[in-house]
Structure 1
């Protein structure tokens, strides 16, 4: 059975992450004072109702963040969702309705739009990548190239778009990159230290240092950037080999080599991946394609708050 990384759901840990970020965002917006504009212009007893409306097509993510914002800001508002995370949006789609004190609507507006727009933008871009390779066997993965503090939220949003989560953090898997090999080669001094050596050492460490159940679940992945490196490392049987910045024709050769030497090892393509190249990469036969852009380059989905009149 193939090993897989943990897929993030909206659980208590994610709720806690969101709550901490909302606390910081409230402090950014209000400091230790108030929204003086709203207090000057809106009567304290005024009531209002507004709809969250998407200005463009996309995929929604972050609906569970809205009640957290309302709770942390201690406002007198009710939110009625019309959609769920992962739902497809059209331009003009209503995500839900906020109703209650008008002052509170105005104070919470930007934070809600920022959170839901950011996460929905990630979900939308993720869905575009997933749709682009739908005719292939390849799965799209995210990366750790995330906004500090937002890691789990952004990976959750990617999942709402159909993306498979790569490792959440350094704790989740052993992933041997070029800098690990460079340091190990320096430390070895009088002998070369190859990717295969690194995999062998990592396997020995896991077997000796981790509890049996944790060791059995530990994914070991190693990065290579040439076909000779791939041939050398495959007999060590890592779970995954990451093929860094290889063109589709080279990736196809890598798949053939893997099939001959160690068909149980999965191949992950990374680098040079965009919406124009991803299908050709997928058609090479690799099982996994990791795309940093899904989290580091997604544009916020345009969502607005339309007041009922």
Structure 2
């Protein structure tokens, strides 16, 4: 079976620059004219202090590097100290990090840092819940492109910190033939022709680089699945199929095209994912990882 996969996001210079862009936007939202009016009115310039970012619930830490970057981009007069790394487990009362310095700067930067930590830790934590639910099966949990505009790379990084895998990053790095493509193109022949056409196009456009480009097609019936199996797309997305249908698809794949990977998708949640994984599919994509993850409760506790 093919071991090819989509590009997996990791913390690198590109992701760091993405984070800095997001932080700059967040700062402009909070400090439109360069002032924190409440803090400037009530807190003297010479007051200093120390505070810790503390988990209020169980989960997975993510956003520690992002929060540190927030302090740098805001040019805060603070010293940042991380106690954990992205991907580490959290329990109520555990300190993720602390910072110390002038109280004005600490108060001004508090919300931007917390927003990054709470949002990204929430995604990582929900991902870990899904991963844990399918432990012992062959399936892996994948995200989707259902991400917050501008946040895609950071959100996909959070999925990785939770133990999930990244599906395609954008429209540019893989082929995924869906029903709307076929409907608009007026495609009425066998679905296998669409796969062949896409493969030929990629080969023409990318030449030697085409071998690393994944070709995936979505089907929603077993008849459609049988149509595409002979041309061996890299992945077949089995959309909204019941576990019984998924089991049949796995048996067909194993008998006729064992190198094709099968991805289940569509309305899968924490209550249903175990049954889906036990059918033998290789991948399960879950949009909720990024579009429905609740923020993890993390607070800033001042040390007195």
- SS in structure 1 at match of 2:270: coil
Structure 2 unpaired stretches of 5+? none
Residue 244 of structure 1: which of 239, 242, 264 is its match? 239
Query: 1:3 and 2:12 equivalent?
Result: no
Supply the distance in 2 between the matched residues of 1:164 and 1:302 (Cα, whole angstroms).
Answer: 24
| Distance in 1 separating the partners of 2:207 and 2:92 | 51
What is the distance in 1 between the residues matched to 2:197 and 2:303? 64
**Residue pairs, 1:217-256, within 5 angstroms:** 217-256=212-251
Equivalent of 1:304 in 280, 290, 299: 299
Residue 193 of structure 1 and its aligned partner are, at CA, apart by 3.2
Aligned partner of 1:201 in structure 2 is 197
Q: Alpha-carbon deviation of 1:209? A: 1.8
Deviation at 1:67, TM superposition (A): 2.0
Out of 206, 212, 215, which is 1:210 matched to? Answer: 206
Q: Which residue of 1 aligns with 2:76?
A: 75
Give secondary structure in 2 for the equivalent of 1:45. coil
| Alpha-carbon distance between aligned partners in 1 of 2:77 and 2:239, rounded to the nearest angstrom | 52
Q: Distance in 1 between matches of 2:128 and 2:162?
A: 4
Cα deviation for residue 102 of structure 1 reads 0.3
1:59-112 superposed Cα distances (whole Å, 9 cap, x missing partner): 001111122111111110011000000000001110011100000010000111
Q: 2:278 aligns with which of 264, 267, 283?
A: 283
With the length of structure 2 as denominator, give the TM-score of the two structures: 0.98
2:15 pairs with 1:20: no
C-alpha distance in 2 between matches for 1:209 and 1:238: 18
Task: Give a deviation string over 1:25-74, Cα, whole Å, max 9, x none.
Answer: 00101102301110111000110100000000000011111221111111
Aligned to 1:163: 164
Distance in structure 2 (CA, Å) of the matches to 1:87 and 1:33: 35
How far off its partner does 1:261 sit? 1.9
- Listed one character per residue, the Cα deviations across residues 137-190 of structure 1 (whole Å, up to 9, x for unaligned) are 1000000000000000000000000001111111110110111111122xx5xx
Superposed CA RMSD: 0.9
Asked if 2 retains the 8 angstrom alpha-carbon contact of 1:181 and 1:193, the reply is no
Runs of 4+ in 1 over 4 A off after TM superposition: none
CA shift digits 1:237-287 (9 cap, x unpaired): 100000000011110011111122211100000012100000000001100
Superposed displacement of residue 195, structure 1: 2.0
Corresponding residue number in structure 1 for 2:126:
125
Mind listing any 5+ residue stretches in structure 1 that lack a counterpart?
A: none
- The separation in 1 between residues aligned to 2:14 and 2:117, in whole angstroms, is 18
Match of 1:64 in 2: 65
Contact 1:52 1:303 in 2 (8 A): yes
How many angstroms apart in 1 are the aligned matches of 2:35 and 2:203? Answer: 56
Given that 1:58 and 1:120 are in contact with CA atoms closer than 8 Å, whether structure 2 keeps it comes out as: yes
Is 2:264–2:281's contact at 8 Å kept on the other side of the alignment? yes
Could you say what secondary structure the match of 1:15 adopts?
helix
TM-score (norm 1): 0.97
